[in-house]
Amino acid sequence: MTRLLQRGERLVVATHNMGKLREIDVLVAPHGMSVASAGDLGLPEPEETGVTFEENAVLKAVAAATVSGLPALADDSGLAVDALGGAPGVYSARWAGPEKDFAAAMRSVEEKLQALGATAVEQRRAYFVAVLALAFPDGSVDLFRGEVHGHLVYPPRGPNGFGYDPMFVPEGHDETFGEMTAERKRTLSHRARAFAKFAAARLPT
Ligand code: ITT
């Protein structure tokens, strides 16, 4: 049964991505939960067989809640590029290959945009999506979605963040997520927007 989480209750953050974990830890901290990561608990990384962010978020959260016996929060996210029909989308992590080479993944995105002659900002529109799934050990699941829209620049700019952050400029700003501080990214990001919905629905204030 979905329910409010209690202050001090243990919550598993079901991710093996350190960039995401850092961001989610900071978002959870003010709510007084005790957080364990999938890595801390030695949980296996489930295969992401879904074709939507929602399906993958659910399968990661349910796997972690079932194995740990604790409520689990999973994030499935990615970058959707309008001119590429929404790619890389749910395959955003896979475009970086097993070495998780995001310089190469960003180069692939840019090569595809160049092949289409997409040089103007309007042709380079993209958005990040994050779907958070909260699963309880009884199998019940809640979903929360957040998006941030903007455009892509190349070459990548800035040392902050992770993944595709250095090529993404959110609407109304000049800096990429890679150039922004973590605090500034948190006021705008897809993950923070999804988290705000989750917090309002399920976390103690
Ligand atoms: P887990 O499944 O263990 O959480 P993962 O990295 O495999 O980790 P996803 O399958 O959700 O996660 O892949 C999402 C990819 O999209 C991620 O690896 C990043 O490259 C990219 N991405 C998601 N959120 C991002 C953000 O805030 N900034 C930059 N890139 C992001």
Could you read off the pLDDT of 152-174 as tens digits, one per residue?
A: 999 999 999 999 999 999 999 99
What integer is the mean pLDDT of 69-81?
A: 98
CB of 163 shorter than 6 A to ligand 1: yes
Domain annotation covers residue 205: no
Residues 23, 99: Cα–Cα separation, whole Å: 22
Residue 135 tokens, joined: 């699963």
What pLDDT sits at residue 121? 98
Question: Among residues 25, 40, 76, 174, which one is catalytic?
Answer: 76
Domain annotation covers residue 127: yes
CA dihedral sign, ordered 155, 159, 164, 167: negative
Q: For position 59, which CATH number holds?
A: 3.90.950.10
Domain annotation covers residue 202: no
What integer is the mean pLDDT of 7-19?
A: 95
The answer to whether the predicted template modeling score (pTM) of the entire model surpasses 0.95 is yes
Domain count, the chain: 1
Burial class for 149, CB neighbours closer than 10 Å (0-12, 13-18, 19+): middle
Active site residue 76: yes
Q: What number of other Cβ atoms are within 10 A of residue 97's Cβ?
A: 12
Domain annotation covers residue 1: no
Percent of the chain exceeding pLDDT 90 equals 96
Domain housing 43? 10-197
CB of 127 shorter than 6 A to ligand 1: no
Domain annotation covers residue 203: no
